[in-house]
Amino acid sequence: MKKIEPPPGYPPEEGRYLRGNDYSPVAVVIILIHPAEEIPRGIEVLVKTGVESGAALSGTLQTENIGLEKLICNIVANPNIRYLVLAGPESPGHFTGEALIALFKNGIDQKKRIIGTKSPAPYLFNIPAQDVERFREQVTLVNLLNEGDSDVIRKAVWSCYQEKPTQFRSYSLYDPGAYPAKPISRKITWRVTRPHIEPKDENERKQVEKLKEMMANIKKRVKTKKQQ
């Protein structure tokens, strides 16, 4: 089977993850619902289990927008990754796991919102839509959301790098080789750092721009008066 060497600078985005075998066909992502300084040992164990079992990348995912954008960037930069194992407890506020599942199932709309999710701010403003589609085409999701058994994750990862189709629950898993396209290696643009307050449609965007223009005019008049 064909494998390729990841490009220089891989993985392009920093984050809470461990890097393993670059030629592995699987990455592991564990939903994180705690602050960085309060990450439970159990979550750390799951992340380590992923990389020790043979994953290319294994880490945590906290938000349904910027966090997910970083995940996408790191995966499309390595065409060898063909599976994403999702595990850990769902976030009761962000519904990050549910948003990721919906992304695979439905994609994004013209406003770059993940379709069919109840997540509060599932907007992928900082990466091109074609990168999102590449992610969905390149990778198959292995859904273990709300599970946290290391042995289950270990078996899922092992199944992904077998040469012949291997049954893991409802999935038939094996290593198909690298995705037949060049790596996409780039960072997120950071144009939008607070997607939860970004205008959600063109009408709302125009209203925001009008308000900004009014505020600029007010500041200009105040400055003129001070100079008189």
88 three-state secondary structure: strand
Calculate the CA 98 to chain-centre distance. 12
Residue whose C-alpha is closest to residue 146's, from 93, 102, 91? 91
pLDDT reported for residue 74: 98
Q: Given this model, what pLDDT does residue 85 score?
A: 98
pLDDT value at position 228? 62
pLDDT of residue 37: 83
Alpha helices in 57-149 (DSSP H): 66-76, 96-106, 129-138
- Two tokens, residue 141: 């999701």
Contact of 141 with 120, CB cutoff 8 Å: no
Q: Among 136, 147, 89, 96, which Cα is nearest to 118's?
A: 96
Per residue in 109-145, pLDDT (tens digit) is 999 999 999 999 999 999 999 999 999 999 999 999 9
User: For the whole model, what pTM was predicted?
Assistant: 0.84
Which among 47, 70, 65 has a CA at the least distance from the CA of 57? 47
Instruction: Show the low-confidence residues of the chain (pLDDT under 50).
Output: none
Alpha-carbon distance 23 to 150, whole Å? 22
Quick one: how far is CA 102 from the chain centroid?
Answer: 12
